[in-house]
Amino acid sequence: MDRFEVVGGAAVTDSQGSALRSDRNVVLQRTLGSAVSCTGQALHSGAEVSMVLHPAPVDHGIVFQRTDIPGPDGRIPASWDNVVNTSFCTVIGNRSGATVSTIEHLMAALAGCGVDNVLIQIDGSELPVMDGSAAPFVFLVECAGTVAQDAPRRALKIKRRVTVEADGKRVELTPARDFQINFRIEFDGTIGRQDYVFGGASGAFKAELSRARTFTFAGEIEQLHAAGLALGGSLDNAVVIEGDRVLNDGGLRYADECVRHKVLDCLGDLYTVGGPIIGHYHGLRAGHGMTNRLLKALFADPANYEWVDQREPAARQPVLTAVPNTPPLRAELGLKLAASA
């Protein structure tokens, strides 16, 4: 069973007297209030892996550290230009050859919870899949809480339309005054065509997207296994579709769970830019590879974007405090929380 633990030690606390705090329109960077850990099975390798999320200082960003690889050779910033593979998941790597795969669900949770700075220590090459959604990672962040830091949050403002098309797929970023993901998927059978628009308002990620699980088709599982993929997959961590039937007990969590999960993945992949985006994303039959190609096209020309201080009403910024060890939430996620004394 997947396990959670809030790690003991000094929590990060808000600094006092910052001039930035007097300006309610400036959104501040945020980190975790304390370290928190989880253990679970990796989706593709099937290995048991442990992961610890630590608070990190201003401008640290989201960085993975392989604890099984000593020193800087195991350090991998979660950046779009460190993406080395996008087949079935997003994989990042460094010049030393170290990689971490299936980062998109955790990245989506960090984006949805407004976490800017975190050090993620992991003892293997792939993140635990948990229940196949981002909800367990949101729970991790809620258990740790988040705190504001004394630096403005930087946002990537889209200044010009950027489009990538290939093989009947299309992705696009367009200038806008806010953030939005517009996504369409098209499959045969029970999924069909599904559309979803995600606006990114405070709390929307947890309510609308976080519980949407990864999905696959029963007829593809043997092929995936032959390729060394989905070895840890099961009905406990993925939606499996066979013809017009959903094989999971209880069926889907949402009628349009598949497109919601695609939006979840997209949000996680977009967060590899290093902050929130001010602009609209449009995706048609897209996936990890197309989104990363779009980011490469975006950053290829500095006229396409600019970095700005994020400014919005403070009430819209997610603010998470540590949550009690509530049985209903534990039961829903199938998790065990052990708070340190």
Query: Which residues, 6 or more positions from 206, have their beta carbon under 8 angstroms from its beta carbon?
Result: 112, 113, 135, 138
Q: What 8-state DSSP symbol labels residue 26?
A: B
Place of tokens 């369409």: 184
Q: Which two tokens stand for residue 334?
A: 């199938």
Q: What are the Cα distances from residue 254, in Å, to 87, 210, 211, 213, 245?
A: 26, 11, 9, 10, 15
* φ and ψ at residue 164, rounded to 5 degrees: -130, 130
Element (H, E) at 172: strand 169-174
Which of 56, 214, 240 has its CA nearest to residue 127? 214
Assign 111 to helix, strand or coil. Answer: helix
Scanning the chain, the segments in alpha helix (DSSP H) are 104-112, 135-144, 204, 221-226, 257-270, 288-299, 327-333
- The verdict on whether 288 is a catalytic residue reads yes
* φ and ψ at residue 14, rounded to 5 degrees: -65, 140
Residues with catalytic annotation? 288
